[in-house]
Structure 1
Amino acid sequence: MSLLHSPRFALVANADNHLRLTSGSGATLELFVLEDDVVRVLVLPNGQLQTPRTWSIAPGEADVPLEGRERRDLSGYSKPEFDLKINDVVLTIETRKIRLEVTLLGGMLSRFVKTQGEWRAVLADRATQAYNFGYWDPRVYHYVRRDAGEMYFGLGERAGALNRAHQRYEMRNIDAMGYNAIQTDPLYKHIPFYITWQKETTTGYGLFYDTVSDCSFDMGRELDNYHGPYRYFVAQHGDLDYYFIASPDSPLDAVRRFTWLTGRPAWMPKWGLGYSGSTMSYTDAPDAHRRMGEFIHRCREHDILCDSFHLSSGYTSIGPKRYVFNWNKDKFPDVHGFVQNYLDNGVRLCANIKPCLLRDHPEFESVSNAGLLIRASNGEPAWVQFWDEVGAYLDFTNPATTAWWKDKVKQTLLRYGIAATWNDNNEFEIWTPDAVAHGFGNTFPAHEAKVLQTMLMIRASRDAQREHAPEQRPFLVSRSGGAGMQRYVQTWSGDNYTSWDTLRYNLKMGLGLALSGVSNIGHDIGGFSGPAPSAEMLARWVQFGVFMPRFSIHSWNDDGTVNEPWMHPEVTRDISDLIKLRYRLMPYLYDLLWLSSSRYEPVLRPTFADFPQDANCYQENDDMMLGSALLVAPVVEAGQTERAVYLPAGSRWTSYWSGESFDGGQTVRLPAPLDQPFMLIREGHAIPLNLAVQTFDQRADQRGFMIAPVHGNGSAQGRCVEDDGVSEAWRNGEHGHWHVAAHSTAETITLSVEFEGDVRWRAASIDLLLPSAETRNVTAAQGRISNVQPEGAWQRVTLDLDA
C-alpha cells in the first residue's frame, strides 16, 4: 500500500490535553498529553473504540472501578502545558521531555526525548504501513523502525536473555509446567510493556500497549526487504492504545513511570517476606494432617525460621481430583485445630484456590444455574480441559460471581484462620470463540480477554481478605497476571524445572518482571518439577532465593521426593544459616518494598539500570542489584568454589563477609562457600539489618545498619521503614523511618541517626556496623557511643540515642 492510499489526517479537536485527528476514510488518531514524560496514542481505523474500558490504567492509585476505567478518562494526570505547531505536512507536540511529530499523510509518528538539554530521536513508526488502516485482517498492528544497537528489556517474565532483541514473544498465558527457562514461550504473565535503550547515548523510552487481548511482539526476528529494519506488535482483538514514556537518564525512569501508570504496588505484611514452606506431596498424601505436622517438627529440629506455608490443593481433594473450596475431612478432620496449631507455632497458611469447577464439583450445578460460569453461545457451560478432568471457568466479569467467590474465600478459608490465598492455575485457557463472558452486562467472546478474568479473580480474593479483616493488610499470591497485578499480589515465575540453567535464567526472568512494574516476586527454590535437586544445587538455589521478595521452597519431584531445607543432611546447616541470613536482611527487603509502593522503585534491577554509563554492565551476566545498595550474584554452575563478578565503575564496593573494599570497573573473583552468597555493599550506602539472634521458637528484632563509608570526603546514607508489620495503621501515620548517615573526612567518620514519624517504633539505641579495617576516628553527631566491639570483619558501634 503506497502513501497515495494512506489516510490524510487533519486536526479537528484540541481540548483538555486531548487532540483528535481524523481522515476522510474515518480513521482517527487521538493524542493525549498526560505528563511531561508520558504521551498516549489511540489509533482507531474506523473511528470507533472496540474496548471502551481499561483495567490496567490506575495512575498513582491502588485500583480501578470493578467494571473498568473509561478509556478516555484523564483523571489522575497532571496534563501539563505543551507547545503545538501544525502545517500542511506535520503536527508537532512538545513537552519539557517529549517531542512528538505526526506526519499528516499516513499518520506516522516520530518521537524525541530531551536529555542533557538536547533532543534525541528515539522512535519512529515504520514509513511503510505502520498501522492497520483496514489494509489486512481485523487484528491490531503497530510497526516501528528498528535502529542498530537498540536493546529491549521487559515484557514480563520471558525466558532467555534479558535483552529481548531479535526474538519473538507471545503473550498468551498458559500453564507451562516444567518450562525451559532458556526458550519456552509463552508463559504465565501478560504485560505488554518494554523499554528500548541505546547504551551509546544512554537514552531510551518505554512503550506500553494497553490491551487484554492475546498479543505478540517481534523484536527484530522478522525481516522483509520491502520495509527496512523493523519490529512490531500485533494483538488479536481490541484497540491500538499505547503509551510512550520518556526515559532520558536511566531505564529506571520508564520503570517508575510505568509502575505509577498501572497502579501503586500493594504494601503487604512483613511476614510475607519470610520463608514459606510448600510441597504438593504433603496435602496429596492420605495422612496429610500428620505430614503437615511433621513439617513444623522438622523446622524446630533443624532451627529453620519459617513464617508461612503454602497449602497445596490436595486439601480440596475428593479421590484423585481437586475441588476448590472443598475440605477433605479424611485428611483434615479438624480444620480449625489444624490451622490453629500452625498459628500457635508462628506459621501462617496460604491456601491454594483455583478458578475452575470440575463438572462433578459438589456445587457445579448450583453455580451453573446461577449463571456464574463462562458459557457457550447455546447457554451450556463452556467446557475446558483442567488438570485430569473437564470443567468450566468461573466468570469474574459477572459481579454475582465475584460475590460468590468472596463469600467462599471467607467461609471456607479465612474464618478458620487461613491467612492468605494462593491463586493458582488461573491462566484461563479459553481457546474457543464460542465461549461468552458476561462482561458486566455487555457480553463478549471470553477468549478476547482471558487475562482480565485473571486480574478480576485475584482482585476478588484480595477484597475478600479486606472484608474479612479490614484492619489487616491483605496478603495473596498469584501465578498468573497482567499489567497492574502489582496492585494485588506477590507472584513467582511459575512451575520451573530443576536444572542449573533454570537457576541462571530465573534470575533474568525476575529482572524482566521487575523492569515491568512487578517487584514482589520470586521463584520455586530448588525447581518445581523434574529431578530432585542435588545438595549443591539446592544450597545454591537457596543462596539466590534469600535475595528475592518471595522466598519459597516448593516442588513436585519426579521421584516423589520433597524439596525441603533438610532433604540433604550434608547441607542442612548451611541452609539453616542462609535462611537466618534472609531474616537478618528482612529490614532492607521490607524497606525496598516500601519504596516500591511509595516511590515505584523496582526492588531488583540489572546493574546497567543504576550504572547506565558503564558499557560493561550491558553484557549478559548472572548478577543483579538488590535495591540501589547491594550487588548480589548467585553461583549458577556446579562445582564452583569461587564467583567472578564485574563491579560497576564509578563506585567502590565492600564485601559483606570480609569487609574488604574493591574499586569498581574491574572483575573480582571471591570465595563462594555454600553458606555465604556473593554480596557487596555499594560505597556511600548503609543497609538496615535485624541484628537479633533468632531461632524457630524465639523471634526478635534489633535494628542495626551495615555501612560502607565513603573512603574520602562524603556521606554514606541509609534508611528503613518501621511499623507493626501487619496492620493498615500505617495509613493513619502509625509508622516511622530511620535515617542513618556516616559523614566522612580523611580523619573522621561522624555518625548521624534521626528517626522521623511515630516514636513508638523508635528504639533507645541502635547498632551501626563499620568495616574492621576502618582506622578513622568515629564520633557521633547525636547521642553517645556506648560500646564498640568486633563482629567478624566488622566492628559494631552502639549508639545510645537518649544519652
Structure 2
Amino acid sequence: MFAIALLMVSARGSAQVVQQTKQGLKFSAQKLDIQIEFYSNNIIRIFKTPAGIPYTKKSLSVVKTAQPTVVTFSKKGKNSLVKSSEVQVEVNPETGGIIFYDSSGNLLLKDKDYGTQFSLVEDAGTNLYKVRNGFLLDKKEAIYGIGQVLDNKFNRRNSSHHMQNENMSTYSPYFQSIKGYAVFWDNYSISEFKDNPQELSFEGLGHCSDYYFMYGKHADGVISQVRDLTGKAPMLPLWAYGFFQSKERYHTQDESLSVLKKYRELKVPLDVVIQDWRYWPEYNKSDSAWNSQLFDAERFPDPKKWVNEIHQLNAKLLIVTWPGFGPKTEQRKEFDSKKMIINFDTWPPNSGARPYDVFNPEALDIYWRYLNKGIFSYIGNDGWWLDSTEPDHINIKKTDFNLPTYLGSYGSVKNAYSLMHNKGIATHQRAVNDNKRGVILTRSGFIGQQRYGSNTWSGDVGSTWDMLEKQIPAALNYTLMGIPNWNSDIGGFFAGRWKDGGGNKNPEFQELYVRWMQFGTFSPMMRSHGTDLPREIWNFGDRGTWCFDAQEKFINLRYKLLPYIYSTSWDVSHNDGTFMRPLMMDFAKDAKTHEIGNEYLFGRSILVAPVTKYKAKTWPVYLPEGSNWYNFWTNEYLQGGQVAITETPIDIVPLFVKSGSIIPFGPKVQYSTEKRWDNLEIRVYPGTDGEFVLYEDENDNYNYEKGKYSTITFKWDDRLKTLHIQAREGNFSGMLTTRKFNINVINPNQKLKDKHVNPTKEISYNGKKIELKF
C-alpha cells in the first residue's frame, strides 16, 4: 500500500536496517524489534518486543487508533529522524535509544540507550517476560502523576513506588512533565516505578514494552492528549455536584429516609443519600450471601416505595455493589459453573466470598444481568457505589497472583480491575437507559476510567490531621493523569480514635470535620461518610453552635457555586478541562508552583488553600506570580508572587480569586434543581481581561451530546471597564428565554467593609448581546 524505504547504517560492524513506514519507523536493535508510530501530530506509540517474537496487543485503556498524520524522514548522522508538525523522534539503530524533541528541536525526553530489558519468567504456567523500560530526564525536571499516593508529596522526582492498586493506593504507570509532555506505559501488571539520578524506569510483567509519548506543550495540553488517547470524560448530572450524605451503614429503608427528611426539616441542602453494604439478606453470620444484590425483606420491605419516597423528597439514591460474591449467592454459583471466579479470598473475612473475573466480557454481561434485575430496573436507583474495586484481597497467598483470568495471570492484569469493573456497569447501564447519566463512585481507578463518568475516592482513610493534609497532593497527582473526578470521605472513614474523647462533640474532631468539609466543598464530589461516629450535621450540635453553623455555611456555598461548578463540568467534558488544578497548570513559569501540592485552583478562577492543622488561626497562602488576586471573603486585592498570611477562623478557608475572573452565583436552594437560574449574580474581578462561559442543559440525560444545550459567554475588557454579554448560543427543552443578571464588579481599591462598596447593576437578558460600561 505504500513504499518502504530501507536506510542502511553501520552499527557494531553489522548492517542495521531502519524501515520507514507510512507514519513511523521499524528497526531491530539489542535483540529487540522496535516500532515507532505517530498516532497524531502529538501522540507517538513506541512498541517493543523480543526480536523475532511478534505480539498483537489489544489495549484496555487506549481507545484511539492511529490517525492519518503527515511525517517527514531524514538522517542525523548515523541516526534516523522522523518528524510531525509538533514532535521530532530520533532513533539510534545501534543502541535502541529514542530521543523526543519539540518542533523547534528542544530536548524533551530520552528513552535510554540499552534501556529496555526482557527477562523470561514463568507466569501461571505460561511464558511471560519481566519487562523494564528506562528513561533519562533533566536533572531538575519536575514530574507528576503516578496515581493517588498518600505520602504528602507532589513532585514525583526521586521516588519509588510499588504500583499495586489496593485500598487507599491507586496507581497508573504514567507521568507528566513540567516540560509539557507525558508518558503512559500501557501495562496493567503489578509494577515498579523508580526515579533516581541515574534514570526513571517502569518494570512489570508483559509480552511487550508498549508506551505512548504525548506532547501538549503545557499541562492542559497534556491532559487533552491523554483524553484523546484513552477517552473523553462525560458530563455528570447537575445533582452529582450537590451534597452527599452516607455512613457505614443505614440499616433500614426507614433510617435513610429519616435522615433525608431531617435535612429537609432543617433546610440544610442535600441531593444524595447513599446505601452502603448489607442491605441484602443475611442468612448467617458468615456472610455466605454477601453481595446477593437483593433486598432483605425485613429491613427493606418495599424498596420500590423507598426509592420513590426519596425521589419525592427531591433527592437521589446511590446504592453499593461489590465485585465479590458469597458462596450462597446465585451470581457466585453461575460464575463458578463458568469458571469466571478468581479464586482468592476477598472481603468479608471468613465468608468464602470471591471476586468475579472482570476481564471476561461474558462475566461483565452476567454481573449486569443480576444487578439490573435485582436493583436498577427494579427500584430505579440513580447511581452506583462500586466498593472494593481493587479488589480487597485478604489471607493473601503468593500463588494468588498466578491465578488465571481471561487475559492471563491475575498479577499481570490486576491494576486494571477497577477499569474493567467500571466499564461493565457504565456501558450496560447506558444501553438500558440512555436518559439517565451514569454516576459511579469507585474506590480505585486506572487511566481510561474517566470515560465511564467514574469518581474515585481515596479509600478508607483515618480521621487524622495528617491524613487530611495528604489528600491534597494525592488528589492533584491523580487528576493530572487526566481523570477529573475525585473525592474523599469528609472527616476520614475510621474515626474510632475520637470515641473516648467525646465523639462528635470532641472539639478537635469537630474542627477536623469542618476543615475536611471545607476541602470537600472544593472537590468534584462533596460527600460525607465514615464509620465509628455518625456524620449527619445534627450529630455535631444544633444550629447556632459553631460546628453546625460552619458546616451549613459551606454546604450553602457549594450550592451557590453550582452554576460555576456545572459550567466547569462542561469545560471538563468539552474542552478537556480539570476541576482540581495544581498551581503549576496555570502558572508553570513561576518555578515555585512546581513544588506546591497543598493549594490548587478549583475550576479556572478560585484558588483554594485547605487548612490542615489544628487550631490554625492564620494560614500562609502562596499567590502565584502571573496574576493578581482577590481575597474571596474580604475583596482585598493582592499582587501575585508573594505569600499572604490569611486569617482562618473556623468558618473561613483561604480562598482567592484570580484577577480577570467572572463567577456566577446561584440562588439559595435545598437541592440542586429547586430553583431555576433566572436571577444570577455575576461577579467580575477586574485587573485583567477575562472570560467565562455559562453552560446550561437539561441536567440529567445525554441530549447535550446531541447539541441540546446553551452557552452564554461573558467577556470583561479591563482597559475599557466594559462587560460584554454575548448572544446566547444553542437551545434545549425548557430553556430560559428571559432572565435577570445582577452584575457586581468588585472594587479592587477597597476592602469589603460595608454592603455598598460594590453596588450591582440589575439587567434583563433575553439572549441578545449586551454591552455594559462600568
Q: CA separation in 1, counterparts of 2:338 and 2:375? A: 22
For residues 724-758 of structure 1, the C-alpha deviation after alignment (integer angstroms, 9 at most, x for no partner) is 11012212221101111232336x43443431111
Q: Which residue of 1 aligns with 2:653?
A: 677
Match of 1:36 among 41, 60, 70: 41
Q: Would you say the 8 A contact 2:271–2:672 is kept in 1?
A: no
Q: CA separation in 1, counterparts of 2:756 and 2:455? A: 35
Shift in alpha-carbon separation, 1:660–1:433, aligned structure 2, 3 A: closer
Q: Would you say the 8 A contact 2:323–2:389 is kept in 1?
A: yes
Shift in alpha-carbon separation, 1:423–1:792, aligned structure 2, 3 A: farther
Are 1:282 and 2:261 counterparts? no
For residues 145-165 of structure 1, the C-alpha deviation after alignment (integer angstroms, 9 at most, x for no partner) is 243212110112122201111
Q: CA separation in 1, counterparts of 2:163 and 2:756? A: 49
Q: Which residue of 1 aligns with 2:728?
A: 755
Shift in alpha-carbon separation, 1:266–1:8, aligned structure 2, 3 A: farther
For residues 604-640 of structure 1, the C-alpha deviation after alignment (integer angstroms, 9 at most, x for no partner) is 1111210111122224352101122111111111112
For residues 263-314 of structure 1, the C-alpha deviation after alignment (integer angstroms, 9 at most, x for no partner) is 011222111111111111323xxxx233213211331233221111121012
Identity %: 20
Q: CA separation in 1, counterparts of 2:220 and 2:636? A: 29
For residues 741-799 of structure 1, the C-alpha deviation after alignment (integer angstroms, 9 at most, x for no partner) is 232336x43443431111753452332442453699xxxxxxxxxxxxx9576433211
Are 1:171 and 2:176 counterparts? no
Shift in alpha-carbon separation, 1:196–1:401, aligned structure 2, 3 A: same
The 3-state SS of whatever aligns with 2:274 is: strand
Q: CA separation in 1, counterparts of 2:521 and 2:14? A: 57
Q: Structure 2 counterpart of 1:551, which letter?
A: M
Q: Would you say the 8 A contact 2:741–2:765 is kept in 1?
A: no
Q: Which residue of 2 aligns with 1:66?
A: none
Q: Structure 2 counterpart of 1:426, which letter?
A: T
Q: CA separation in 2, counterparts of 1:742 and 1:54? A: 45
Shift in alpha-carbon separation, 1:800–1:9, aligned structure 2, 3 A: farther
Q: Which residue of 1 aligns with 2:235?
A: 267
Match of 2:385 among 413, 416, 422: 422
The 3-state SS of whatever aligns with 1:153 is: strand
Q: Which runs of 4+ in 1 moved over 6 A?
A: 4-9
Q: CA separation in 2, counterparts of 1:696 and 1:97? A: 47
The 3-state SS of whatever aligns with 1:91 is: strand
Q: CA separation in 2, counterparts of 1:539 and 1:28? A: 57
Q: Would you say the 8 A contact 1:303–1:576 is kept in 2?
A: no
For residues 234-265 of structure 1, the C-alpha deviation after alignment (integer angstroms, 9 at most, x for no partner) is 012232111112243x2332222112211011
Q: Would you say the 8 A contact 2:415–2:446 is kept in 1?
A: yes
Shift in alpha-carbon separation, 1:195–1:793, aligned structure 2, 3 A: farther
Are 1:565 and 2:537 counterparts? yes
Q: Which residue of 2 aligns with 1:334?
A: 302
Q: Which residue of 1 aligns with 2:84?
A: 95
1:461-480 matched pairs, under 5 angstroms: 461-480=425-444
Q: Which residue of 2 aligns with 1:111?
A: 100
Could you tell me how far 1:134 is from its partner in structure 2?
5.3
Are 1:149 and 2:155 counterparts? no
The 3-state SS of whatever aligns with 1:635 is: coil
Q: Which residue of 1 aligns with 2:373?
A: 411
Q: CA separation in 2, counterparts of 1:412 and 1:133? A: 47
Q: CA separation in 1, counterparts of 2:35 and 2:115? A: 16
For residues 10-43 of structure 1, the C-alpha deviation after alignment (integer angstroms, 9 at most, x for no partner) is 44543331421135x7620000112222222111
Q: How many aligned positions are there?
A: 720
Q: CA separation in 1, counterparts of 2:603 and 2:742? A: 20
Q: CA separation in 1, counterparts of 2:205 and 2:383? A: 35
Shift in alpha-carbon separation, 1:696–1:490, aligned structure 2, 3 A: closer
Q: Which residue of 2 aligns with 1:397?
A: 359
Match of 1:254 among 206, 219, 222: 222
Shift in alpha-carbon separation, 1:733–1:772, aligned structure 2, 3 A: closer
Could you tell me how far 1:715 is from its partner in structure 2?
3.0
The 3-state SS of whatever aligns with 2:345 is: strand
The 3-state SS of whatever aligns with 1:451 is: helix
Shift in alpha-carbon separation, 1:150–1:6, aligned structure 2, 3 A: farther
Could you tell me how far 1:683 is from its partner in structure 2?
1.1
For residues 203-229 of structure 1, the C-alpha deviation after alignment (integer angstroms, 9 at most, x for no partner) is 342111011122121021xx7xxxxx2
Q: Which residue of 1 aligns with 2:762?
A: 798
Q: Which residue of 2 aligns with 1:345?
A: 313
Q: Which runs of 5+ in 2 are unaligned?
A: 1-9, 122-127, 394-398, 499-507, 769-774
Q: Would you say the 8 A contact 1:9–1:106 is kept in 2?
A: no
Q: Structure 2 counterpart of 1:754, which letter?
A: A
Q: Which residue of 1 aligns with 2:460?
A: 495
For residues 680-729 of structure 1, the C-alpha deviation after alignment (integer angstroms, 9 at most, x for no partner) is 22111212221x12236992133535434434xx5332112101110122
Are 1:190 and 2:164 counterparts? no
Q: Which residue of 2 aligns with 1:695?
A: 670
Q: CA separation in 2, counterparts of 1:626 and 1:467? A: 33
Normalization by structure 1: what TM-score? 0.84
Shift in alpha-carbon separation, 1:634–1:362, aligned structure 2, 3 A: same
1:433-452 matched pairs, under 5 angstroms: 433-439=401-407, 444-452=408-416
Q: Which residue of 2 aligns with 1:125?
A: 111
Shift in alpha-carbon separation, 1:451–1:421, aligned structure 2, 3 A: same
Q: Which residue of 1 aligns with 2:505?
A: none
Could you tell me how far 1:49 is from its partner in structure 2?
4.6
Q: Which residue of 2 aligns with 1:481?
A: 445
Q: Would you say the 8 A contact 2:665–2:681 is kept in 1?
A: yes
Match of 2:20 among 6, 14, 17: 14
Q: Which runs of 5+ in 1 are unaligned?
A: 60-72, 177-186, 198-202, 224-228, 375-381, 777-789
